[in-house]
Amino acid sequence: MSFSIESKLGDLLDNETTKAILEKHMPGISTHPQIGMGKGFALSMVAKFSGGLITEDILAKVNEELAALG
């Protein structure tokens, strides 16, 4: 399975490798109190509701690392 910022946040957090990438760029995302509400949505969608915490720059970096996983 390939991952990207279009992958569901829950799927990214359920995989230790992709979770580490998210934590690298967005420290604390996996333990954020409201994270449960976003698990069914793509990371790119969650970013739109993050109040600016997940920027386009962060998304680009995360997407690049996820794509490198193959």
On whether residue 29 sits in a domain, the answer given is yes
How far, in Å, CA of 58 to CA of 18, rounded?
A: 14
Q: Are 4 and 60 spatial neighbours (Cβ–Cβ below 8 Å)?
A: no
Q: Which two tokens stand for residue 28?
A: 């604390």
Q: Could you tell me the residue range of the domain that residue 37 belongs to?
A: 9-68
pLDDT digits over 13-32, tens only? 999 999 999 999 999 999 99
Q: Nearest-5° angle of CA 31, CA 32, CA 34?
A: 130
On whether residue 13 sits in a domain, the answer given is yes
Phi and psi for 42 in degrees, rounded to 5? -65, 150
pLDDT value for 70: 77
pLDDT value for 64: 97
On whether residue 32 sits in a domain, the answer given is yes
On whether residue 16 sits in a domain, the answer given is yes
On whether residue 2 sits in a domain, the answer given is no
Q: SS3 for 30?
A: helix
Is the pLDDT confidence value at 1 over 80? Answer: no
On whether residue 42 sits in a domain, the answer given is yes
On whether residue 4 sits in a domain, the answer given is no
On whether residue 62 sits in a domain, the answer given is yes
Counting the structural domains of the chain, the total is 1
